[in-house]
Amino acid sequence: MSKKIRIAIQKSGRLNEDSLQILKDCGIHIDNGRDQLKASAGNFPLEVFYLRNGDIPQYLRDGVVDIAIIGENVLVEKGEDISIAQKLGFSKCKVSLAIPKGKNYNTVQDLEGKRIATSYPNTVKQYLEKHGVNAELHIITGSVEIAPNIGLADAICDIVSSGSTLFKNNLKEVEVMLTSEAVLAVSPGIDTARKEILDKLLFRIQSILKGRDYKYVLLNAPNEKVADIIALLPGMKSPTVLPLAEKGWSSIHSVVGKNRFWEVINELKENGAEGILVCPIEKMVN
């Protein structure tokens, strides 16, 4: 029987949804029954294991799974020995220190001798050691935000996405210890056959991620403005220029990076571009 690569993803929540979506975007269809802990792909040599996020690093280490889509913050806390094959650009968050709103704060040195409640003791310990701060850590597996309100801690360390949970618990963020996103992590024991499957999967993922970073732009321009507009649209190599039925006009096709998109669009308009059409790019293959 041919081998399948075994991928772990979070059992539920936003990371689960985004992980399944990127596999779907890769053209991989998961035969996923309700409440299954394991499922197979119908058109790619892949098995999905639905696991608790915090357990995934050990499953990777033990070779129970070959790869995983997991939060980078979890690897910092529990799997620094596990390599990352690809950052995935979704499920972004911060791991931060927060204190009650009414407390004064200037630098991390203000936490000297304080009590910090957290589910990320290794991350906090490394950060405090780096800054020469000694503090007492209280390890909590559930919600840590309530700890200062009940007198258990002076500060907390937790994941921060929108900041709404901190606000609801009368807390303020004072230190960002690290930023995190979903990553594709690889077991140190992955074998050659499964590594070949991983390379095929990575090719698909990277094509999708690159496509997300660009927009496809089509526009019309008078021929005397084409040179100026091409200078604004380097594209992958150079823009495509096609003559229009209307004499003296051309259609220009190119791609624009999303980070400069609105700036470029304004420059195009200022240089005579008309009828600008912008399309998403599903995949970009090199």
pLDDT in tens, 118-150: 999 999 999 999 999 999 999 988 789 989 988
Band of residue 257 on the pLDDT scale cut at 50, 70, 90: confident
Percent of the chain with pLDDT over 70: 97
Average pLDDT over residues 160-176: 89
Check whether 98 has a pLDDT greater than 80.
Answer: yes
Average pLDDT over residues 13-19: 90
Mean pLDDT of the chain: 91
Residue 254: CB atoms within 10 A of its CB come to: 24
Distance in angstroms (rounded) separating the CA atoms of residues 59 and 55: 7
Q: Which residue has the tokens 């991989």?
A: 28
pLDDT in tens, 213-229: 888 999 999 999 999 99
CB-based burial of residue 225 (10 Å sphere; 0-12 exposed, 13-18 middle, 19+ buried)? middle
pLDDT of amino acid 234: 64
pLDDT of amino acid 236: 61
pLDDT of amino acid 286: 75
Check whether 1 has a pLDDT greater than 60.
Answer: no
Ranges assigned E (strand) in 52-190: 67-71, 83-87, 93-100, 115-118, 136-139, 155-160, 171-180, 182-186
Band of residue 2 on the pLDDT scale cut at 50, 70, 90: low
Distance in angstroms (rounded) separating the CA atoms of residues 26 and 155: 42
pTM recorded for the entire structure: 0.84
pLDDT of amino acid 34: 57
pLDDT in tens, 27-80: 999 876 556 788 999 899 999 999 998 899 999 999 999 999 999 999 999 988
Q: Is residue 155 within 8 Å of residue 56, measured between CB atoms?
A: no
At residue 171, what are phi and psi to the nearest 5 degrees?
Answer: -115, 160
CATH numbers and ranges of domains, the chain: 5-90+181-211 (3.40.190.10), 93-180 (3.40.190.10), 214-280 (3.30.70.120)
Distance in angstroms (rounded) separating the CA atoms of residues 160 and 165: 8
